[in-house]
Structure 1
Amino acid sequence: MSASTLRAAGMVTVAVAALLGSAFALGRSLMPEQPHRGSGAAASVHAPHYGDQPPSTEFPGPPAGHGEPSPDASPSAPDNGRQADDSEGPYGAEVSTGSARIALTFDDGPDPQWTPQVLSLLKEYGVHATFCVVGENAEAHPDLVRSIVADGHSLCNHSWNHDITLGERSPQAIRDDLMRTNDAILAAAPNARIAYFRQPGGAWTYPVVSVCEELGMTPLHWAVDPTDWQVPGADKITETVLTQTRPGSIVLMHDAGGDRSGTVEALQRLLPELLHRFQLEALPTGTT
């Protein structure tokens, strides 16, 4: 083969390769991007449904040097009934019971219509849960706070008036809010132990976690959110809890903040089924 023929063949090869490369690049540009995949508890946020604060749909970013679970991290499978890798949510908030047992938590109460119905069902099935109490509701309904404690449930501070933006305020303002809420709870039940704090909307920030820990409370997030605050109906609430709950799960539901008839109906179905599959517990409060 002559030199001129070889040169011509080489030019054809280069041209074909360039065309193929352009087509490949074009094909990539036309492919839809994959949707962002969250990591369960650390990625879930529910919008405000109580109080006068504007909706919040995303977590504030972590401060420099403070770690947060990667939003693309896959949940780890349980290891002998434990969830060591799933025990921390945003800014180190607890999202696992640390054992094979699961914990039901109820936010935004107490409410004179819905809290007694929830308490009645829990008592019927012999289940203890954790109630995340809003301060102004505790002040308005101290008898319900006493009922919660008398039935053996544990308590969690859920801010004074469900302020989604609480974590953006100054440390002193955050401290005042949390202490005011604790004072209202303790005024109703002086011997109660308030071991946890749950940030409204799950809108955690480093300052709010720091303050709650300084006050002796553990930041409490969740692993299963059936979004009952959106009133999706008992069927949807039941389905979500049953399909997503696994050993160590902390389940989020609400006993106030709106129409909770769907939650109550779902709870009637959930309690016998959850008791068949798991052991249920109130989150421990430690010693007083």
Structure 2
Amino acid sequence: MKKDQLFTRRRALLTGALAAGAAGTAGVFALGTGGTSKAPAPPAAGAPAHRVPQKPSAYRLQPLTGYGPPHAAPARPPVRREPLLRISGRGNTMVLTFDDGPDPRYTPAVLDTLREYDVRAMFFVCGEMASYNKDLLARMADEGHVVGNHTWSHPLLTTMSRAQIRSEMERTSDVVEAAYGERPQWFRAPYGAWNRTTFQLGSELGMEPLAWTVDTEDWTTPGTAVIVDRVEKGAAPGVVVLSHDAGGDRSQSVRALRSYLPQLLDSGYHITVPRRQYI
């Protein structure tokens, strides 16, 4: 083949390749405007074409909602039809629970007594109270106590919408996580007023519903001796005792704890906190 003919053939092939590339590019833009062109052919082998880096779009500089490390999804317990009233365990185990706090007037004294006897308890906190007393939640974490969710503002949940109940629960769990170090795994409805929605939402948020076996009714301020008597008469394996460290004058509750706690221990009871039955 002559030299000029070979040159002409190469030029024709090159011209055809450029035309095919232009058609492929036109196909890309056509798709963006509602066209139905076929996808462009893959580029020929060889050195990549030089590209001018594009400036990032403004919206790409803004973090997307929920961007960042994902929160670990809480283990979801079963949806129950009634709250747990007792705990299972070997021997004479009991659980002491305190509601409505933390209150800087009474909660520190309760924690001091528990620390003196090396006992762990449960505190079902209200988010509004916890938001003002995060140092007490941090102390509970340091001393091995369990913090549960008792809603944000202690409302009667059975009169509220699903969205309102979820807000009460979630806001409290957020405060607990920030101050205590982890989200609560237990939930207690104010006034012991449960319904299907509270059980469903509690499960969705990874919390078990825990009620009580012995109610000291200390919120009525019946007297220190009466509170002590109710605890001692109700003591039994698996019992969950309800007291309060906030919500009013709780000086009787503080004094009663100092009296009945050493007596329970001397009687062979092991004061503990419940363990979840699943991961």
Normalised by the length of structure 2, the TM-score is 0.68
Which 4+ stretches in 1 moved above 3 angstroms? 285-288
Q: Which residue of 2 aligns with 1:127?
A: 119
Q: 2:177 aligns with which of 175, 186, 189?
A: 186
Structure 2 counterpart of 1:177, which letter?
E
Q: Which residue of 2 aligns with 1:177?
A: 168
Equivalent residue of 1:271, what SS?
helix
Q: Which runs of 5+ in 2 are unaligned?
A: 1-79
Please identify, of 278-287 and 260-269, the stretch whose mean Cα deviation from structure 2 is larger: 278-287
Q: Which residue of 1 aligns with 2:274?
A: 283
Normalised by the length of structure 1, the TM-score is 0.66
1:97 Cα offset (Å): 1.0
Equivalent residue of 1:221, what SS?
coil
The answer on 1:161 being equivalent to 2:153 is yes
Q: CA contact under 8 A between 1:138 and 1:145: conserved in structure 2?
A: yes
Q: Which residue of 2 aligns with 1:140?
A: 132
Q: Which residue of 2 aligns with 1:228?
A: 218
Q: Which runs of 5+ in 1 are unaligned?
A: 1-89
CA offsets 1:62-102 (integer angstroms, 9 cap, x no match): xxxxxxxxxxxxxxxxxxxxxxxxxxxx9320111112411
Q: CA contact under 8 A between 1:159 and 1:181: conserved in structure 2?
A: yes
After TM superposition, list the pairs within 5 Å mapping 1:243-262 onto structure 2. 243-262=233-252
After TM superposition, list the pairs within 5 Å mapping 1:184-223 onto structure 2. 184-189=175-180, 191-223=181-213
CA distance in 1, matches of 2:197, 2:109: 36
Cα–Cα, structure 1 residues 177 and 193, in superposed 2: closer, same or farther, change >3 Å?
Answer: closer
CA distance in 1, matches of 2:277, 2:259: 31
Q: CA contact under 8 A between 2:86 and 2:240: conserved in structure 1?
A: yes
The answer on 1:238 being equivalent to 2:228 is yes
Equivalent residue of 1:95, what SS?
coil
1:192 Cα offset (Å): 2.4
CA distance in 2, matches of 1:169, 1:141: 27
CA offsets 1:242-285 (integer angstroms, 9 cap, x no match): 00121100000001111111111111111111112311102236
CA distance in 2, matches of 1:280, 1:135: 26
1:146 Cα offset (Å): 0.5
Equivalent residue of 1:232, what SS?
coil
- Alpha-carbon RMSD across the aligned residues, in angstroms, is 1.6
CA distance in 2, matches of 1:196, 1:151: 18
1:218 Cα offset (Å): 0.3
After TM superposition, list the pairs within 5 Å mapping 1:62-73 onto structure 2. none
